[in-house]
């Protein structure tokens, strides 16, 4: 049994008689991992990352903007209200996963958390970056565009190609990946994926493989992640 942890949002939620904060995640993420053969444990924000000791892999889900103060900047006027508990929890989980040499997959915000953990920083509002294409018309909608992987990187090897079409829905992006390496760029120069080439599997993508329309195109990515998690479990 391969068991991976999936980070969750901490957001106001409403169902039945309740209207209270809840730890939740779009079910697309759960479907994505289950279809790839993993059992999924949801990880609510928690600053003690030792729950990872019983898991085989970590997925950092998308969501609200990372607080700019985490990388030494003042928040832009366009930034989301900070989710400080989630930021702290995911940074701690990621660093613990790296200590364990556990496979990690970052999705959208997850890639940005990875970059910040490695000493990098973010573009806080892509429309303010000169010559940048539209990566989100409005929240909740996706924009398709081309991305190019660098030949010889792990990401290119996993996907079996250097040229792909991806789906974006973000207004922030990685400006500096810190000690990670960039393995894919959008046509306008936006960073689309980063990896640690010394890890068995440590890869973050700016697009959304959890979207149902991406399941076939991104199947190699999820298969590689779950296979790495399975190998990690067996080695442990």
Q: Which of 207, 195, 106 is nearest to 150 (CA)?
A: 195
State the Cα angle at 171 between 166 and 172, rounded to 5°: 95
Q: Which of 90, 192, 195, 210 is catalytic?
A: 210
Yes or no: say if 87 and 98 are a contact pair by the CB < 8 Å rule: no
Q: Which of 108, 183, 194, 202 is catalytic?
A: 108
Residue found under tokens 């991104």:
218
Active site residue 208: yes
Backbone CA torsion sign across 183, 151, 4, 53: negative
Active site residue 210: yes
**Which residues are catalytically annotated?**
108, 208, 210
């Amino acid at each position: 049994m391969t068991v991976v942890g999936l980070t969750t949002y901490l957001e106001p939620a409403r169902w039945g008689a309740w209207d209270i904060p809840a730890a939740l995640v779009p079910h697309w993420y759960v479907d994505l991992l289950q279809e790839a053969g993993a059992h999924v444990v949801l990880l609510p924000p928690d600053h003690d990352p030792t729950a990872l000791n019983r898991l085989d892999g970590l997925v950092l889900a998308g969501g609200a903007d990372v607080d700019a103060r985490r990388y030494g900047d003042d928040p832009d006027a366009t930034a989301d209200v900070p989710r400080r508990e989630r930021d702290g929890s995911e940074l701690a989980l990621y660093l613990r996963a790296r200590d364990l040499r556990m496979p990690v997959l970052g999705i959208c915000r997850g890639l940005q958390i990875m970059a910040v953990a490695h000493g990098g920083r973010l573009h806080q509002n892509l429309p303010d970056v000169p010559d940048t294409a539209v990566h989100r018309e409005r929240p909740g909608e996706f924009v398709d565009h081309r991305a190019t992987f660098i030949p010889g990187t792990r990401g290119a090897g996993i996907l079996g190609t250097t040229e792909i079409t991806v789906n974006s829905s973000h207004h922030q992006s990685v400006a500096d990946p810190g000690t990670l390496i960039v393995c894919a760029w959008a046509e306008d120069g936006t960073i689309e994926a980063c990896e640690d080439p010394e890890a068995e599997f440590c890869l973050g993508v700016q697009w959304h493989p959890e979207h149902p329309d991406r399941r076939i195109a991104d199947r190699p990515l999820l298969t590689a992640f779950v296979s790495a998690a399975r190998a990690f479990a067996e080695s442990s």
